[in-house]
Chain A
Amino acid sequence: MNGLRASLLLFGLGLALPGQAGSLGTLSDNTGNALFWSMVTLLGQPVMTTMALGAEEPSARLLYSEKTATLGAIEYSSSGAVQFNQKILFAASDDARLFVASDGRQRGAFLEAALRHCRDLGLHPGASDMQLASALLAYPGPP
């Protein structure tokens, strides 16, 4: 497992992003190092995209095509306007799966943030957490 974990990091990094190498080649607490730069680049793009975005055909997507949609400001409560931020919804995809699969018992912070965002925007007032989580589950990845 050690090897696996070590390479995971690498791979993860790599995968995650060829262009930004941010952590490519960095060794967080010093975990391994990277071949995955390679893998990354290669395999990484389409695959990671798929994973991150929730499963659509890999061919359709490019890693860099993610877009932050700003659908105009929606007025909310007292403290000004909250901008719709699609990224907050995308970031909740894994947490939403966990929440739905566990019938609401497992509730991660990214889901919590997305639920709050939906409510701040006044989307589907009165909807339950489960209804919103399952809408997040079916939320399409970026075009």
Chain B
Amino acid sequence: MRWRPLRLLALLLCLLVTPLSAALRLELDARDLTEREREASQALLAQALQALPPSLVERLDRRVQVRWSQTLRHDAFGSARGRHYIELNRLLLPALADGSAAQRQTGRSHATLERELLATLLHEIVHLYDRARLWSPADQRRLAQCRSQAARLGAVGLADDCRGQTQRRFTLSDDPRLLDLAGWPQRVGRRGEREPRNAQGARSPDVYELSHPREFVAVNMEYFLLDPEYGCRRPGLQRYLSAHFGWRPAHASDCPADYAYLNAGLDPQRDILGQLDPERVYAVHYLLAEPNQAWVSRWGHSMLRLVVCAPNTPRGPDCLLDLDQHLVLSYRAFVGDLQLSTWDGLTGAYPSRLFILPLSQVIDEYTKLELRSLASVPLQLPREQLEGLVERAVEQHWSYDGDYYFFSNNCAVETLKLLRSGSARADLQTLDSITPTGLLQLLEARGLADRSPLRDPREALRLGYRFDSYRERYQLMFDILRQRLPIEAESVEQWLALEPAQRRPWIERADLRAAAALLLLEQAALRRQLLLAQDDLKRRYLASRGRQDSDLAQAGGAIEQMLRDSGFLSRPAELLEHGYGLPQAAEWQRLRQQSQARQLQLRSLAGELDGELRQLLEPQRLARIEAGERNLGELGRHLRRLHQASGGLQLP
């Protein structure tokens, strides 16, 4: 503390003596330049200085010479040499000097050659800044503390917020937070070591950014400084860079309140292009599909649930029951083939992508089709972290195209990475788990997940903290049925195995409670028949693959085509050729057209297949399915008759 006034005094003296020295100076190497070339170059340098953050100009206190070089590769724009030189490609100088660079389109993302040159100059200056280790005094103190802690305690005893901070060599590009945002997340179980490959490759402004974190920083600074929309397209990075420099460009545009996302849900009434307002998100829950015995689901599946409020519900606990508004963030492997291969799952052959789905669909998939329960555990996130997480999720939805590895990059790992990069919490930096249940336990241990609403099972079901498996429901329905009707079947299995015609006579004899139970069980029976039929078709198709002649091979080929075509739903970036990051309002229109067109195409293909496949079913199977459908129809009518006869209420 004692030396602080001294330092201030020294600083003051410096300012008095050499008022211009504490700043970056760009000097043009004007040898063998014509007058016009020199003027145009000077203008470029002045533009660059003006565009840079004042704090960068101040901290990068050195003289940097800029020269037009004839030795760069013909397709390179520029390069930083050592600490004091930046070279620009001389081939581009004539166009700058005669003014044509301002109009000449390059086909690259900064549009004109002049902007491209300016971006290049900024890019190279940022490299110099990055290499110069220009941390703020507060950062320097923290890094020193982390280093000394690492020396004393070793990597194991390191504080959460020191992970990744002990061997820093760059101002920005090896900052753990930057790496999380940029797409080089920590590898599982490697104490902070980073993934070697950046998987945020979709909707990149310039794929060069993916080559190395240092290039990532330099490329992103180009857009941060030059593109007014950068903050709307890459809001997380914009906030990070603004915080680092204590400044944001004056030209930054205001962003729309909503994020656009591609709704991969099954409800045709829902707009395929969804809009999500982070203000409407009341809470985030860790959504766990409980494990079952299939090899791919023995560990459970982890997802995140966004508790989104309906337009009329004030943000608060009431939003928990706005179930039709809730969304689920789920990393899934996209499989564009009919065979699920264990080997491919282990070796990363399946792409892993972030889907945004309606909650009700996810509940149906797990509880009805897989017969697994879902637990929804609230995460205790301060508002700022919650909104950061939502924003990050949408960014990942548009940009992430990773590989699924069963052990090292599964849903739990992906979800943890999302939580970490979205919330920016230090206590998540050192969490490591490769199983969904393990991750939940760790989150609980850190006080982040709160399981208390699940303690009372009835309340948990009533309020949607738990969604029970239909397996439990079927058993219960069967017990009720046996109490109310003298049926002979002794187990659910036996009841479901009966021919539909054998169950049918009971419909007329059922009272309201029994009829409700019968209906749920009849649905189960029908669903089972459909599964068997499907399984059967799948087996026959896979056996016939390669034999072009069979009807099945034709239908199967069409199905595989549909699977491939549906890929766009998992990789929304494919719908847009231009722009980067989050799509902006101007791109929404095109998005909507594109996605609807593809959807129509899929539907018509599905319609053609429909008839074909029905014909391929074994007649006995088809008869059972149709009989089950008739039972359901009869049950519906019977229930309505009972309800009316008892003078029940009518709903609009």
CB contacts (< 8 Å) of A45 on chain B: these are 610
Task: State which of B110-118, B395-403, B534-542 sits at the interface with chain A.
Answer: B534-542
Which of B410, B436, B461, B531: most chain A Cβ within 10 A? Answer: B531
Q: Which of A57-83 contact B (CB under 8 A)?
A: 57-58, 63-64, 66-69, 71, 79-83
A27 to B579, CA, bound (A): 30
Q: Could you give, for residues 77-121 of chain A, a 1 whenever the CB lies within 8 Å of some chain B CB and a 0 otherwise?
A: 001111111011101001011101111001111101100101000
Give which listed residue, A16, A35, A137, contacts B541 with CB less than 8 A.
A35
CB contacts (< 8 Å) of A98 on chain B: these are 473, 476-477, 516, 520
CB contacts (< 8 Å) of B640 on chain A: these are 138, 140
CB contacts (< 8 Å) of B530 on chain A: these are 11, 15, 36, 39, 43-44, 47
A91 to B361, CA, bound (A): 11
Are A38 and B461 CB-contacts (below 8 A) given A22-B355, A55-B633, A88-B324?
Answer: no
Count of A-B contacts judged by CB separation below 8 Å: 361
Contact B463 A33 (CB under 8 A): no
Any chain A CB within 8 A of the CB of B265? yes
Contact A24 B563 (CB under 8 A): yes
Contact B606 A29 (CB under 8 A): no
Q: Could you give, for residues 1-16 of chain A, a 1 whenever the CB lies within 8 Å of some chain B CB and a 0 otherwise?
A: 1111111111111111
Any chain A CB within 8 A of the CB of B332? yes
From B351, which residue of chain A is reached at the shortest CB distance?
A26
Give which listed residue, B458, B570, B649, contacts A135 with CB less than 8 A.
B649
Give which listed residue, B297, B411, B609, contacts A38 with CB less than 8 A.
B609
Any chain A CB within 8 A of the CB of B575? no
CB contacts (< 8 Å) of A25 on chain B: these are 334-337, 563, 566-567
Any chain A CB within 8 A of the CB of B157? no
CB contacts (< 8 Å) of B313 on chain A: these are 79
Contact A30 B297 (CB under 8 A): yes
CB contacts (< 8 Å) of B651 on chain A: these are 89, 118, 123, 132, 135-136, 139
A19 to chain B, nearest CB (A): 4
Task: State which of B95-103, B132-140, B181-189, B286-294 sits at the interface with chain A.
Answer: B286-294
B361 to chain A, nearest CB (A): 7
Task: State which of B72-80, B145-153, B266-274, B383-391 sits at the interface with chain A.
Answer: B266-274
CB contacts (< 8 Å) of A138 on chain B: these are 639-640, 642-644, 648
CB contacts (< 8 Å) of A29 on chain B: these are 289, 296-297, 299-301, 332, 410-411, 436
Which of A14, A85, A94: most chain B Cβ within 10 A? Answer: A94
Contact B633 A35 (CB under 8 A): no
Give which listed residue, B365, B406, B467, contacts A28 with CB less than 8 A.
B365
Contact A30 B264 (CB under 8 A): no
Contact A71 B603 (CB under 8 A): no
CB contacts (< 8 Å) of B404 on chain A: these are 30
CB contacts (< 8 Å) of A132 on chain B: these are 649, 651
Interface SS majority for chain B: helix
Any chain A CB within 8 A of the CB of B44? no
Contact B461 A106 (CB under 8 A): yes
Q: Could you give, for residues 580-597 of chain B, a 1 whenever the CB lies within 8 Å of some chain A CB and a 0 otherwise?
A: 000000000000000000
Are A42 and B332 CB-contacts (below 8 A) given A19-B599, A29-B296, A135-B643?
Answer: no
CB contacts (< 8 Å) of B462 on chain A: these are 107-109, 112
Any chain A CB within 8 A of the CB of B555? yes
CB contacts (< 8 Å) of A141 on chain B: these are 636
Contact A42 B629 (CB under 8 A): no
Contact B314 A79 (CB under 8 A): yes
Task: State which of B253-261, B276-284, B367-375 sits at the interface with chain A.
Answer: B367-375
CB contacts (< 8 Å) of A131 on chain B: these are 648-649
Any chain A CB within 8 A of the CB of B602? yes
Give which listed residue, A12, A34, A43, contacts B533 with CB less than 8 A.
A43
Contact B296 A32 (CB under 8 A): yes
Give which listed residue, A2, A44, A80, A102, contacts B480 with CB less than 8 A.
A102
Any chain A CB within 8 A of the CB of B69? no
From B600, which residue of chain A is reached at the shortest CB distance?
A19
Give which listed residue, B520, B533, B609, contacts A101 with CB less than 8 A.
B520
Other A-B pairs beyond A21-B565, A22-B361, A27-B333, 14, CB < 8 Å: A12-B368, A27-B350, A29-B297, A29-B299, A29-B436, A32-B296, A37-B562, A38-B541, A41-B559, A51-B527, A69-B652, A83-B312, A101-B514, A131-B649
CB contacts (< 8 Å) of B334 on chain A: these are 25-27
A42 to chain B, nearest CB (A): 4
Contact B603 A19 (CB under 8 A): yes
B292 to chain A, nearest CB (A): 6
B582 to chain A, nearest CB (A): 21
CB contacts (< 8 Å) of B263 on chain A: these are 22
B269 to chain A, nearest CB (A): 6
Contact A71 B652 (CB under 8 A): yes
Contact B312 A79 (CB under 8 A): yes
Any chain A CB within 8 A of the CB of B632? yes
Any chain A CB within 8 A of the CB of B614? yes
From A73, which residue of chain B is reached at the shortest CB distance?
B312
Give which listed residue, A8, A19, A64, contacts B370 with CB less than 8 A.
A8
A57 to B629, CA, bound (A): 7
Give which listed residue, B268, B324, B570, B646, contacts A63 with CB less than 8 A.
B268
A50 to B649, CA, bound (A): 23
Any chain A CB within 8 A of the CB of B360? yes
CB contacts (< 8 Å) of A43 on chain B: these are 530, 533-534, 613-614, 617, 625
Q: Which of B440-482 contact A (CB under 8 A)?
A: 458, 461-464, 467-468, 473, 476-477, 480
CB contacts (< 8 Å) of A83 on chain B: these are 312
Contact B268 A19 (CB under 8 A): yes
Q: Which of B512-569 contact A (CB under 8 A)?
A: 512-514, 516-517, 519-520, 523, 526-528, 530-531, 533-535, 537-538, 541, 555-556, 559, 562-563, 565-567, 569
Any chain A CB within 8 A of the CB of B650? yes
